[in-house]
């Protein structure tokens, strides 16, 4: 099996167990590989150690929780990701150069630094205005070919062009979609995760395929 497919499987496993005390051994066991071989393969493919990846995505998700779960105490959010109150503040500050308290206060502002261009400030609409734009629809299961992009979301336009160009089996009737795992306002630069996907027939046989669950 292609290394990138195995690493994508490991990333999916990690992301689905963020609120658990997940270890490198847990992920290696899930893949049925030795811990040493898995760690070396992960670093080769992603350029980041497994430990650093788990630590980073846990903190990124905790930052998202600070933004949207405002009824929860900061210490409680830290505990949910395996940190004591004092340790969480220290680790969070190390990654974001500010305390969790200051971070939570900053997201109440009506402007925010553009995550793709540090020189730009974006003006935010009200929650109600954003809410009006949301559409919720029932969709069926979709079988897709996908390419996982770990980097800056601003590069997705170019990534789409190369993804389509390198797949001779792409059909113009296919549904194109993007599945986001990272909030660019909290992810470290060049570490956002997104799957570029287009639908194919379920009889299609390739390693970089998966089913997107409907609902």
pTM: 0.76
Placement of tokens 């051994």 in the chain: 25
Tell me the pLDDT tens digit for each residue of 74-85.
999 999 998 988
The predicted structure's pLDDT at residue 153: 84
Residue 159 has pLDDT above 70, yes or no: yes
Q: Where are the domains of the chain?
A: 3-107, 142-212
Radius of gyration of the chain (CA): 19
Residue 204 has pLDDT above 90, yes or no: no
Q: How far is CA 212 from CA 117, 164, 168, 179, in A?
A: 32, 19, 22, 9
Residue 113 has pLDDT above 90, yes or no: no
> CA 110, CA 101: separation in Å to the nearest integer?
18
Q: Which CATH class is domain 3-107?
A: mainly alpha
């Amino acid at each position: 099996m292609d290394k990138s497919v195995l690493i994508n499987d490991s990333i999916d496993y990690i992301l689905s167990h963020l609120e658990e005390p997940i270890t490198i051994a847990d992920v290696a066991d899930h893949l049925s590989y030795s811990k040493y071989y898995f760690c070396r393969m992960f670093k080769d493919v992603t350029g980041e150690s497994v430990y650093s990846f788990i630590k980073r995505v846990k903190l990124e998700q905790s930052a998202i929780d600070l933004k949207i779960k405002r009824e929860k105490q900061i210490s409680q959010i830290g505990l949910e990701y395996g940190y004591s109150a004092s340790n969480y503040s220290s680790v969070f500050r190390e990654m974001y150069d500010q305390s969790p308290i200051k971070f939570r206060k900053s997201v109440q502002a009506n402007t925010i630094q553009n995550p793709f261009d540090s020189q730009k400030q974006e003006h935010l609409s009200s929650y109600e205005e954003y809410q009006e734009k949301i559409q919720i629809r029932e969709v069926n299961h979709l079988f897709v070919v996908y390419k996982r992009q770990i980097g800056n979301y601003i590069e997705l336009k170019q990534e789409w062009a190369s993804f389509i160009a390198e797949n001779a089996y792409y059909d113009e009737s296919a549904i194109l979609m993007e599945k986001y795992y990272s909030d660019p306002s909290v992810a470290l630069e060049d570490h956002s995760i997104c799957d570029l996907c287009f639908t194919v027939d379920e009889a299609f046989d390739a390693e970089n395929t998966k089913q997107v669950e409907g609902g």
